[in-house]
Amino acid sequence: MNPIISVRGLRKNYKKTEAVKGIDFDVEEGEIFGFLGPNGAGKSTTINMICTMINPTSGSITINGYDVASQKARVRESIGIIFQENTLDEKLTAYENLMLHCRFYRVPKSERQRRIEEVLEIVDLQAEIKQRVDTFSGGMKRRLEIARGLLHYPKVLFLDEPTVGLDPQTRAHLWEYILRLKEEQGITMFLTTHYLDEAEISSRVAIMDAGSIIALDTPDALKRQLGGDMIELATEDNALAQQEITKQSTPESMTEHEGTLFIRTDDSNRFISQLLPTLTPAVTSLNIRRPTLNDVFLSFTGRSISATKGDG
Amino acid sequence: MEGIYGIWLRDITKFFRDKARLFGSFTMPILFLLIFGGGLSGTMESMMGQMTGADGDFNYVEFVFPGIVAMTLLMTSIFSSLSIIEDKDFGYMKEILVSPVSRVSIAIGKMLGAATVACIQGIILFMLIPFLGLTYDFVSLLLVLPFMFLFACALSGLGLLIASVIRSTQGFQMIVQILVMPMIFLSGALFPINNMPAWMHTIVMLNPVTYGVDVMKKIMIDVDSLSPEVVEAMGLNLEIFGRLITIPEQILFIAVFAVVLVLLATVSFRRTNA
């Protein structure tokens, strides 16, 4: 597979701070690329540079074979962007918003009507075509924005916090649309989100912190890299249990949080079958799970992503 | 081109959709016409009559009407450019800025949109001509239209430039207070620019609105039929460095002004990291 986005030595300095410290990565054609990072990690700066919105201090970006610095118009034609905030004109109808987009992106006149109907069908908004956008619900607006982003048949769709501010049901629906898009249209997606369970659908995930990319792999590989399973254990005397566990084995990590011990271990079978029965304090609850992206994020950045909610 | 058209079409569509703005656009110029045309005309005409000695030749309403049209163009052009601040606030500017539409096309589209809205308002004022007892030549009204559009483009360019450096709507209102009002009063739109203190006269001559108003008056008012004293009293013998300025020179000046402002606005878009 060929990289559709290629970033080399990308750097951005603001007066005194280095927002992005020379990063390299590729996004493969047809993948969902999850881009995660705590607040102020340089995520937004990086995306804005890729989307031609701000100029890098140094380094190069290629999208769909076009150079972002010298072929801005070509790059802009190749990408669709769903911004975190609403960028529809709410005083206009859905149709008018889409038609304007066709004009901005020079969609051939003979194609416009057909494409507008096509993208509205993808997001299930055919019936609302003549309605003004200010009558739409939050979820409908998001869907319309996604439809608009698809009108010019972009090679890459950027989704910046696409589900922020939506209720869980609408979120789930939106992901159905997005996944269907990937399967049916094969569009490459560049995704940022604060909901790490949503990032699980990514083909690969990059974690950015303090201006650098500190991890880049498939979600499974990242979780494997953490190793083993997460055991959540609560006993009648956690302090004593901790002592006894460390005496008999060396777990990868063990932390206590709100009355529960979080133990990461390579061999959860041995832990359950041999070590657990020997504990003196009675076990009140036990849960074994695979590490999640949240555990990965926590271990790489030392912070939980939910604590960094907001624009990174 | 398609991008310019899209940006223009959007602003025109929204102008006609916004009922309050549409209604408000009718009322303000009519109010000015009532006040300046009805209220001031008697006083102005008797003062002018004393000055020129040629009593009755000076028709103040005929004099002030092109001025009020010019003033409407100025106000509407500048206020329509305000839409660019709204576009930034409501996020739509991002949609435009990430599209392949060139920055100069955005500026031109916005400028043409504001200028079109301004001209529509100017034409609405023309419909009042019969009710004001004025008799402008129909051909001169047709001739003045292209110039009105050019003039409105220049003023919209100015509005765009202001809008691109001002972040908030409130800031914009303040600029309008300290810039637009003097531009109207010191342009010869509402009263003749004669016998002013030297410093004020300098401002008048630096004010681009002065030349726009002057051209509109010279096209619309049948200057040849007036006595030389009245033409002088109307302040229509505009001189710079002791030389009479011709209409083509003024039109050229306005056109250059428009181009320069659009280019400056383009540069400011290029800097914008919306």
pLDDT recorded at residue A308: 46
* Cβ pair A54:B273 closer than 8 A: yes
Tally of residues, chain A: 312
pLDDT recorded at residue B258: 92
Task: Tell me if residue A57 falls in helix, strand or coil.
Answer: coil
- CA distance to partner chain A, nearest, from residue B112 (Å): 16
**Tell me: the pLDDT tens digits for A109-158?**
999 999 999 999 888 899 999 999 999 998 899 899 999 998 998 999 99
* Cβ pair B10:A92 closer than 8 A: yes
- CA distance to partner chain A, nearest, from residue B111 (Å): 17
* Cβ pair A92:B14 closer than 8 A: yes
ipTM surpassing 0.90: no
Helices and strands: H and E segment counts in chain A: 11, 14
Pick from A47-61, A80-94, A204-218, B160-174: least confident = B160-174
Q: How confident is the model at residue A311 (pLDDT cuts 50, 70, 90)?
A: very low
* Cβ pair B97:A51 closer than 8 A: no
Note whether B5 contacts A: Cβ–Cβ < 8 A. yes
- CA distance to partner chain B, nearest, from residue A234 (Å): 49
Rounded to whole angstroms, the Cα distance separating B42 from B256 reads 39
Q: How far is CA B212 from the centre of its chain?
A: 7
Quote the pTM value. Answer: 0.83
- Closest chain A CA to residue B87: A89
CB B97 within 8 A of CB A50: no
**Tell me: the pLDDT tens digits for A21-57?**
999 999 999 999 999 988 788 888 999 999 998 899 9
- Closest chain A CA to residue B105: A104
CATH superfamily of A3-222: P-loop containing nucleotide triphosphate hydrolases (3.40.50.300)
pLDDT recorded at residue B271: 67
Q: Closest by alpha carbon to A209, among A45, A44, A43, A41? A: A41
Identify all chain A residues contacting B273, using CB atoms and an 8 Å cutoff.
48, 53-54
DSSP secondary structure string, A215-279?
EEE-HHHHHHHH-SEEEEEEES-HHHHHHHHHHH---SEEEEETTEEEEEES-HHHIIIIIGGG-
Query: Cα–Cα–Cα angle for B72, B31, B16, nearest 5°?
Result: 55
DSSP secondary structure string, B67-136?
HHHHHHHHHHHHHHHTHHHHHHHTSHHHHHHTSS--HHHHHHHHHHHHHHHHHHHHHHHHTTGGGGT---
Residue A303 in this model has a pLDDT that exceeds 70: no
* Cβ pair B6:A91 closer than 8 A: no
- Dihedral angle of Cα A149, A152, A158, A160, to the nearest 10 degrees: -20
Q: Closest by alpha carbon to A125, among A80, A94, A90? A: A94
Rounded to whole angstroms, the Cα distance separating A19 from A28 reads 25
**Mean pLDDT (chain A, rounded):** 87
Note whether B95 contacts A: Cβ–Cβ < 8 A. yes
Identify all chain A residues contacting B98, using CB atoms and an 8 Å cutoff.
51-53, 76, 79, 81
pLDDT recorded at residue A312: 40
* Cβ pair B13:A51 closer than 8 A: no
* Cβ pair A100:B274 closer than 8 A: no
**Tell me: the pLDDT tens digits for A272-299?**
888 888 888 888 888 888 888 888 888 8
- Closest chain B CA to residue A106: B2
Number of CB atoms found within 10 A of residue A279's CB: 17
Rounded to whole angstroms, the Cα distance separating B47 from B55 reads 10
Out of A73, A79, A103, name the one closest to residue B6 (CB): A103
Identify all chain B residues contacting A96, using CB atoms and an 8 Å cutoff.
10, 13
> Where do the domains of chain B lie?
2-271
**Domain boundaries A228-290, corresponding CATH code:** 3.30.70
pLDDT recorded at residue A306: 54
Number of A to B CB contacts under 8 A, please give it: 68
Identify all chain B residues contacting A77, using CB atoms and an 8 Å cutoff.
100
- Closest chain A CA to residue B14: A91
Q: Where in chain A is the domain with CATH 3.30.70?
A: 228-290
CB A122 within 8 A of CB A80: no
Note whether B2 contacts A: Cβ–Cβ < 8 A. yes
Note whether B270 contacts A: Cβ–Cβ < 8 A. no
pLDDT recorded at residue B267: 86
Tens of pLDDT, residue by residue, chain B (274 residues)? 889 999 999 999 999 888 787 777 777 778 878 887 777 777 777 777 666 665 556 778 888 889 889 988 998 898 888 888 888 888 898 899 899 999 899 999 999 999 999 999 888 888 888 887 788 888 888 889 999 999 999 999 999 888 887 777 788 778 878 888 889 888 888 888 877 888 888 888 888 899 999 999 888 887 777 777 777 777 777 777 677 788 888 999 999 999 999 899 888 877 654 4
- CA distance to partner chain A, nearest, from residue B90 (Å): 7
* Cβ pair A83:B274 closer than 8 A: no
